[in-house]
A and B are shown apart, each in its own frame.
Chain A
Amino acid sequence: MPRAVLIEPCYEICTCYWYYAVENHLWRYAPLWAWRVDRLRKRDATRIRVVEAIESVDPQLVAGCGHGAPNLFTGQFGVPIFSVCTEDVLARRIVFLLSCDTAAELGPDAVRKGARAYIGWDAPVVFVVSSPPRIRDPATDPFAWPLFDASLSLLGSLMWGKTAGEAVEAYMRRSSYWYRYWLSRSDGTYVAASIAHDAKHLRLLGDPSARIVIGRVVPPTVYASAGLAAVASALALSGHRTAASIAGLASLLVSLPR
């Protein structure tokens, strides 16, 4: 089973928007059932906990959101987590950091030290929020959602076993969709501008063909529906028509794609 470490501080608007985007919506983008995901949330998003998790779990994927600088990525309350020249914990992994500037120095340094691919931004990340912000569910903030939708698409693509290059393409596709959408609205100037800015500064470093093999992904609903179908057949054979119909209907409902 592939493994991922997600770094999720939540202490101000940017990090909390990502935190709740992952919390509430990542399951719609990624086959989480096929992964072992270690989420280092809030106070656990510190260097000690992150390095500990990476060394014990040996994840193929490291992703997170936090404040950054060209040579630094930080966690909860801005404590440094990754910095240039201090370690090679990112070696052999695909890394995606929703953080400003880190693709300028930290990303190239990580790739030099063996990271398979590094996806991040080489400029500040910007987005428009509603006033007042809707931190608890970013999906209800129409101005901010494009960034998080595109970023979750990128992360989801990696978790579906797509290559780093394909994941960036997924980001660009969603960005392009939202850009066109907001351009067509008279109140969309600033949302479109921020989407264009972020897409322009997203960088993929390392191997664009790097991918994480996740094996054969079978959603749990398939097992559940197979089980219910078996119960339905057994009940039908034993003459329980009503019960068989109910079980059959339930198996059909469970097998519908979510």
Chain B
Amino acid sequence: MRRAEEIIRRYPALANLPIAVVNGRVYTLRELVELAKRGVAWAIQKLESAGLDPSPNELKLLAAEFWRRMPRNQMLVVLGPLATYVVSGEEAARQILSNGPLAPLLTDIYLEMLRRVRLGA
């Protein structure tokens, strides 16, 4: 848990990264640390496995939540195969949930950040 706190302190951009799904609800790194501080056992366990490859269903929920939280003053531009996509956070989340053409790329970008949490950024 100390390591997770250190990550939040040093890299605020990772604090709100969704990293676990419990009973269908997505929890961020910051939320898990708060719960773990209060001694919630499953939160401590989830923190220990943070960054490990989640199941496909969990990954879909986590990645969609990750993109849904993108600030409204930012948009993602994808210089994709023969086309440009400019997507808001909401649109990116919809792409993932509906298996749109950008879903693999958007999921891959999220996974890369998840791995970096495990590696300590």
Interface residues of A (CB under 8 A from B): 12-14, 67-70, 72, 74, 78, 98-101, 123-131, 133, 143-144, 182-194, 196-197, 200
Contact = CB atoms under 8 A, between A and B. Distances in A.
B81 A184 contact: no
Contacts of A200: 112
A126 B109 contact: yes
B84 A128 contact: no
A157 to B, nearest CB: 22
A182 B113 CA distance: 13
A123 B69 CA distance: 24
A123 to B, nearest CB: 7
A34 to B, nearest CB: 30
B81 A101 contact: yes
B3 interface: no
A184 B14 CA distance: 9
B113 A124 contact: no
B81 to A, nearest CB: 5
Nearest to A78: B82
Contact of B112 (A78, A144, A197): A197
A184 B80 contact: no
18 contacts: A68-B82, A70-B81, A101-B81, A124-B79, A125-B79, A126-B105, A127-B76, A129-B86, A143-B74, A182-B13, A183-B13, A184-B10, A186-B13, A186-B16, A192-B113, A193-B112, A194-B76, A196-B116
A116 to B, nearest CB: 25
Nearest to A192: B13
Interface in B68-120: 69-84, 86, 88, 105, 108-110, 112-113, 116
Prevailing SS type, chain B contact patch = mixed
A14 B76 contact: no
A74 B72 CA distance: 31
Which residue, A67, A98, A183, A188, has most C-beta atoms of chain B within 10 A? A183
B11 A99 contact: no
Nearest to A65: B79
Contacts of A124: 78-81, 105
B35 interface: no
B50 interface: no
Contacts of A70: 81
A189 B89 CA distance: 12
B77 A14 contact: yes
Contacts of B74: 128-131, 143, 187, 190-191
Given A13-B86, A131-B73, A131-B74, A67 B79 contact: yes
Contacts of B116: 196
Contacts of B88: 131
B59 interface: no
A200 B75 CA distance: 21
